[in-house]
Chains A and B, each alone.
Chain A
Amino acid sequence: MSVSSETASRRPPGLKSSGPTSGGGGKRRRLRVGPQGYLLAVFVLVALVGSWTSEFFFTVRNLENIVVAASVVAVLGVAQFIVVVTRGIDLSVGSVAALSTVITAVLLRQGQGVLVTVVVALLACAFCGFINGILVVYARIAPFVATLAMLSIARGVAFLVQVGTLIVISNRDFLDIFGGRTGSVPNVVIIALIVTLIAAFVMRFTPLGRRLYALGGNPEAARLSGLPVKRDQVMAYTTSGLLAGLAGLMLAGRLSQGSSLVGAGYELDSIAATVVGGTSLFGGTGDPISTVLGALIIGMIGNIMNLAGIQSEPQLVIRGLVILVAVFLTSGGGIQRIRAGLSKLRRGGRSGADGGGPTPAPAPPEPVEAAGRSDLSAEPRPTPPHDSTEGTR
Chain B
Amino acid sequence: MNASTAAPALRAVGLTKRYPGVTALDGVDLDVHAGRILSLSGANGAGKSTLVKILSGAEQPDEGRIWVDEQEVDLASPHAARQAGIYTIYQELSLVPSMSVVENIFLDDFASGLLVRRSKLEAQAEALMERLGVDVDVRAAVNTLPLAKQQLVEIAKALKSNPRVLLLDEPTTTLPPRDVASLLELMRNLARSGVGLIFISHRLDEVTEVCDEVDVLRDGRRVGHFDSVPAHHDIVKAMVGDRLENSLSAAVVEGAEGTLGGVATDEVVLRVRDLSDGHRLSFSCDLRRGEVLAVTGLLGAGQTELTECLFGMRETVSGTVEMEGRKVRVRSPREAIGVGLGLIPEDRKSQGLVLDMSASKNMTLASLGSFTRMGVLDHVREAKHSRGQVDELAIKCSSVNQTARTMSGGNQQKLLLARWLTKNSKVLILAEPTRGVDVAAKEEIYRLIRAYLRRGGAAVVVTSEVAEAALCDRVMVLSAGRVVAEASHEEIRSQQQDLLTHLR
Give A contacts to B, CB under 8 Å.
205-207, 210-211, 213-214, 217-218, 220-228, 284-285, 362, 364-365, 367-368, 370-374, 376-377, 380-382, 384-386, 389-390, 393
A221 touches B352 (CB 8 A): yes
Given the complex, which residues of A lie within 8 Å of B13, measured CB to CB? Answer: 365, 384, 386, 389-390
A221 vs B415: C-alpha distance in the bound complex, in angstroms? 13
B356 touches A371 (CB 8 A): no
What residues of chain A lie closer than 8 Å to B5, measured between beta carbons? 367-368, 371
Cα(A364)–Cα(B230), bound, Å: 30
Name the contact of B4 in the complex, choosing from A224, A284, A370, A390 (C-beta under 8 A): A370
Contacts of A386 in B (CB 8 A): 13-14, 29
From A206, A225, A364, A374, give the contact of B365 (CB < 8 A): A225
Q: Does B361 lie within 8 Å of A210, measured CB to CB?
A: yes
Partner of B368, one of A210, A364, A382: A210
B38 to chain A, nearest CB (A): 11
Provide the residues of chain A in CB contact with B361, threshold 8 Å. Answer: 210, 213-214
Q: Is B95 an interface residue, CB under 8 A from the partner?
A: no
Residue of B nearest to A223 (CB): B333
The answer on a CB contact under 8 Å between A380 and B333 is no
B31–A218 CB distance below 8 A: no
With contact pairs A211-B368, A222-B365, A374-B226 given, residues A284 and B356 touching in the complex (Cβ less than 8 Å): yes
Instruction: Please tell me if B353 contacts chain A, counting CB pairs below 8 Å.
Output: yes
| 30 CB-based A-B contacts, threshold 8 Å | A206-B372, A207-B377, A210-B365, A210-B377, A214-B361, A217-B356, A226-B337, A226-B338, A227-B365, A284-B356, A285-B356, A362-B72, A365-B8, A365-B67, A371-B4, A372-B4, A372-B227, A376-B223, A376-B238, A377-B225, A377-B234, A377-B237, A380-B223, A380-B237, A380-B238, A380-B241, A384-B222, A385-B29, A390-B13, A390-B14
B419 touches A225 (CB 8 A): yes
**Are the C-beta atoms of B6 and A367 separated by less than 8 Å?**
yes
State whether the Cβ of B289 lies closer than 8 Å to any Cβ in chain A: no
Q: Say yes or no: B238 contacts A377, CB within 8 Å.
A: yes
Q: B114 within 8 Å of A by Cβ?
A: no
The 10 residue pairs across chains A and B that have the minimum distance between CB atoms: A226-B337, A217-B354, A207-B368, A380-B223, A382-B221, A362-B72, A225-B366, A226-B334, A225-B365, A218-B354
User: Nearest CB to that of A362 among chain B residues?
Assistant: B72
CA separation between A207 and B377, bound complex, in Å?
Answer: 6
Nearest chain A CB to B210 CB, angstrom units: 19
Residues of chain B contacted by A224 (CB below 8 angstroms): 311, 313, 333, 343, 345, 351-352
Q: Is B113 an interface residue (CB 8 A)?
A: no
Shortest CB distance B177–A (Å): 29
Q: Taking CB as reference atom, which chain B residue is nearest A360?
A: B72
A-B contact count (CB 8 A): 149
Tell me the bound Cα distance from A227 to B364 in angstroms.
Answer: 12
> Quick check: A206 and B351 within 8 Å, CB to CB?
no
Whether the Cβ atoms of A380 and B228 lie closer than 8 Å is no
**Which one of B8, B241, B311, B372 contacts A207 once the chains associate, using CB atoms below 8 Å?**
B372
A377 to B229 alpha-carbon distance, docked (Å): 11
Task: Contact check, B228 vs A374: say whether CB atoms are below 8 A apart.
Answer: yes
Residue B26, interface by CB 8 Å = yes
For A227, what are the chain B residues with a Cβ–Cβ distance below 8 Å?
A: 334, 365-366
Q: B8, A220: Cβ atoms under 8 Å?
A: no
8 Å CB contact of B377 from A205, A221, A377, A385: A205
B376 and chain A: residue at smallest CB distance = A205
Known: A207-B369, A224-B351. A367 touches B356 (CB 8 A): no
- A381, B223: Cβ atoms under 8 Å? yes
- B223 x A382 contact (CB < 8 A): yes
Not counting A207-B372, A367-B7, A377-B237, a sample of 20 additional A-B residue pairs whose C-beta atoms are within 8 angstroms of each other reads A206-B376, A207-B368, A210-B361, A214-B357, A214-B365, A217-B354, A217-B356, A221-B352, A225-B419, A284-B356, A362-B65, A372-B1, A373-B225, A376-B223, A376-B226, A377-B238, A380-B216, A380-B223, A380-B237, A393-B65
Cα distance, A207 to B238, chains bound together (Å): 48
Task: State whether the Cβ of B224 lies closer than 8 Å to any Cβ in chain A.
Answer: yes
CB of B274 within 8 Å of the partner chain: no
Q: Which of A225, A284, A364, A374 contacts B227 (CB 8 A)?
A: A374
Chain B residues within 8 Å of A377, by CB = 224-226, 230, 234, 237-238
